[in-house]
Structure 1
């Protein structure tokens, strides 16, 4: 890879890293797994950077790779080995935003992999139906039906947790 291509790749990663990490976390619900998925994605992107940068939609191309890495990671059947004890983390003070985010994250975890992928891409990554379909390699009809089913499931899972005014009930 040339120096200019390296610089373009570095600039892209600097701009997109937080977005990719957030997307991966919303898919898998675990910070460490999300980092692994993003790392595998960025390695694949680096290896194909000349092809990626020639694509009309670099973000779409990268999100497609991220989704495939997430799906591949889900399929791995081998046991994970704990190499160190997890560091104790300070818990954030509970508040409405944290509780709402936790409820949404838990509801997302209970959806099917397809519904979760569609909802994350559509509503957290602001992708259009067409972009989501291209990233996932499916039809726009599939994206629409998975969106409708996923939102219905989220409503059922979160039913009763918020009042009609949109605030969380105790």
Structure 2
């Protein structure tokens, strides 16, 4: 088996390749830009601190995603959620789309869903993860991802219809 690269190099590569997407994920989950950035920084710090314990280093991104989601849950539990103050800023062409009125309605409706449904939908449709990747990130089975996503889509549709 080939030796793994030093943790700093691998973590730096992960950060460069995924930090912005993870901040977007956290921003959608928390509604608070500072909390989103903090969640991502803390997740990467945790990865670095626990690098030696990571059994499968190919799953480091899954570890970081899970850590970001856990920190987002903590933020919401502590009441630091402020959707109206911090919708996603324009960081790129994709983020500009989020400023569209329809997208704002979807993001607002997402925040009315139960946490697990919101997480499953955001991971699937905003990050475009597979069911298997979502299951690893959320720590649930593929079947749970399917049912949670299905229930979340149905609930999201009901909420959006109510608001029309």
Q: Structures share a fold, TM > 0.5?
A: yes
Cα shift at 1:139: 1.4
Q: Aligned residue for 2:58?
A: 56
Task: From the CA coordinates, give the structure whose radius of gyration is larger.
Answer: 1
Q: Any residues of structure 2 matched to 1:1-80 within 5 Å, and which?
A: 4-52=6-54, 54-76=56-78
Name the TM-score, length of structure 1 as normaliser: 0.74
Q: Deviations over 1:69-127 (max 9, x none)?
A: 222333347xx7xxxxx9xxxxxxxx995212211110111010000110111111111
Change (3 A) 1:148 1:96: closer
Asked if 2 retains the 8 angstrom alpha-carbon contact of 1:55 and 1:61, the reply is: no
* CA distance in 2 between partners of 1:137 and 1:29 (Å): 23
Structure 1 unaligned segments of length 5 or more: list them.
81-85, 87-94, 163-170
Q: Match of 2:111, SS?
A: helix
Q: Any residues of structure 2 matched to 1:128-143 within 5 Å, and which?
A: 128-143=130-145
* CA distance in 1 between partners of 2:54 and 2:102 (Å): 37
* CA distance in 1 between partners of 2:19 and 2:56 (Å): 20
Cα shift at 1:161: 6.5
Q: Deviations over 1:113-169 (max 9, x none)?
A: 00011011111111111111111111112111110111011111112768xxxxxxx
Q: Any residues of structure 2 matched to 1:118-157 within 5 Å, and which?
A: 118-157=120-159
* CA distance in 2 between partners of 1:110 and 1:59 (Å): 28
Structure 2 unaligned segments of length 5 or more: list them.
86-96
Q: Which moved more, 1:11-20 or 1:109-118?
A: 11-20
CA root-mean-square deviation = 3.0
Name the TM-score, length of structure 2 as normaliser: 0.76
* CA distance in 1 between partners of 2:59 and 2:127 (Å): 14
Change (3 A) 1:96 1:27: closer
Asked if 1 retains the 8 angstrom alpha-carbon contact of 2:43 and 2:67, the reply is: yes
Q: Aligned residue for 1:107?
A: 109
Residue correspondences, number: 148
